[in-house]
Amino acid sequence: MNRASVRARIVGTGMYVPERVVTNDELASMMDTSDEWIQQRTGIRERRWVNDGQTPVDLAKAACLQALESAELEIGDVDCILLATLSPQHDFPGTSFFLHEELKAGEIPCIDLRAQCSGFLYALNFGDALITSGKHERVMVVGCEVHSTGLDISTNGRDVTVIFGDGAGALILEANRDEEDPAGILQIRLHAQGRHAKRLWIEAPSSGTSPRLDQQMLDEGRHFPRMEGRQVFKHAVTRMPEVLLEALSAASIKVDDVNLFLFHQANLRINEFVSQKLEIPEEKVFSNIQRFGNCSAASIPMLLAEVDRNRQLERGGIVCMTAFGSGFTWGSAVLRW
């Protein structure tokens, strides 16, 4: 079998969010903000936060088990786990290793990938390459974030804190060699620009300082995420349409021929802007930021799992997924469902 005729198709999806719902009004009881401000600027109504003791691995495990169940597969059928996160459970080893143990994944390889809110698309790119190169038959791709344990819940952190939520999404990629079945990833395009790394980042702890974290850093809140919100917004609304068109053009597909657009759930206003710019009709864009906030690397696989669960997509339909995030990173993937 010629390698070029192998495509990576999605055979199972799953998602999980913690039970604890945190409404905008609840945030307003912790800091100077309001439901009106948050909804107007971001579209978010509520998000989920983990309960005490609930870990990223707990979320990822539930999403992975659902993905395996929907694919009618066992963990023993998977050859590799790729986990995208910006909120690893520990500094090292990565979250994927603790997930590996929880899933009883034997001795298959696993790795964490860190490309923040574009992390899932980066992981999907590597999963696709592992399959189309013939290295693996099945790859589990996971996005998992627990933001809530690392947010500044005072008024100082309100610009960032109101945006983020906790959640996990997972999918299983499988080699498709069936020439009658066109399902699979068609094109992925990724970019990064490290020049902007400090526009959305967490400074400490850092292995570039000794000690990595001290009382002064804590007092100054340097362990909390910091963001130049307007710059992020400006770059996102430029880069997302750019890379979306680049991926579609590489796949020889027109914007009008796409059945469903899944955008990273950073801010509903960013996504509305992108849709308007590309004249994408509202009904072709699925969002869940209103209920879950920005779950970074987990946002797109969570969307995909919901779409799959609700049967919102016919087999053969074209899906275009586009993200932007810290790094800065951005990317777009086009697939036939």
Residues annotated as catalytic are: 117, 264, 294
| Beta carbon nearer to ligand COA, 134 or 153 | 153
Q: Which of 61, 158, 189, 336 binds ligand COA (CB under 6 A)?
A: 158
* Options 17-25, 36-44, 277-285, 305-313: segment touching ligand COA (CB under 6 A): 36-44
Are 201 and 226 spatial neighbours (Cβ–Cβ below 8 Å)? yes
Give me the least distance between CB of 148 and ligand COA, in Å please.
Answer: 15
Q: Which of 62, 68, 82, 117 binds ligand COA (CB under 6 A)?
A: 117
Are 283 and 337 spatial neighbours (Cβ–Cβ below 8 Å)? no
Radius of gyration of the chain (CA): 19
Instruction: Note whether 325 binds ligand COA by CB under 6 A.
Output: yes
* Options 3-11, 103-111, 154-162, 328-336: segment touching ligand COA (CB under 6 A): 154-162
CA-nearest of 163, 153, 148 to 32 is 153
Q: Which two tokens stand for residue 33?
A: 């903000």
Q: Which of 6, 35, 37, 156 binds ligand COA (CB under 6 A)?
A: 37
Residue that is written with structure tokens 């914007």 in the block: 255
CA-nearest of 102, 123, 128, 101 to 112 is 123
Q: Which two tokens stand for residue 187?
A: 């094109």
Contacts of residue 231, Cβ cutoff 8 Å, sequence gap at least 6 = 196, 199
Instruction: Note whether 271 binds ligand COA by CB under 6 A.
Output: no
| Contact string 275-304 vs ligand COA (x = CB under 6 A) | -------------------x----------
| Beta carbon nearer to ligand COA, 117 or 260 | 117
Within 176-235, which residues bind ligand COA (CB under 6 A)? Answer: 227, 229-230, 232-233
Amino acid at 315: R
Residue that is written with structure tokens 């983990």 in the block: 50
Q: What are phi and psi of 218, to 5 degrees?
A: -65, -45
Q: Which two tokens stand for residue 180?
A: 């009658």
* Options 35-43, 123-131, 167-175, 248-256: segment touching ligand COA (CB under 6 A): 35-43
| Beta carbon nearer to ligand COA, 12 or 225 | 225
Q: Which two tokens stand for residue 93?
A: 């080893």
Give me the least distance between CB of 37 and ligand COA, in Å please.
Answer: 4
| Beta carbon nearer to ligand COA, 63 or 266 | 266
Within 44-83, which residues bind ligand COA (CB under 6 A)? Answer: none
3-state secondary structure of 16: strand
Quickly list DSSP for 131-165.
Answer: HHTTS-SEEEEEEEE--GGG---SGGGHHHHTTB-
Give me the least distance between CB of 179 and ligand COA, in Å please.
Answer: 39
Q: Which of 20, 41, 196, 199 binds ligand COA (CB under 6 A)?
A: 41
Instruction: Note whether 266 binds ligand COA by CB under 6 A.
Output: yes
Q: Which of 13, 95, 267, 275 binds ligand COA (CB under 6 A)?
A: 267
What sections of the chain are H helices per DSSP? 24-28, 35-42, 56-71, 95-102, 119-132, 158-161, 215-219, 229-250, 268-278, 289-292, 299-309
CA-nearest of 255, 248, 262, 257 to 277 is 255
| Beta carbon nearer to ligand COA, 187 or 329 | 329
Residues that bind ligand COA (CB under 6 A): 33, 37-38, 41-42, 117, 158-159, 162-163, 227, 229-230, 232-233, 236, 266-267, 270, 294, 325
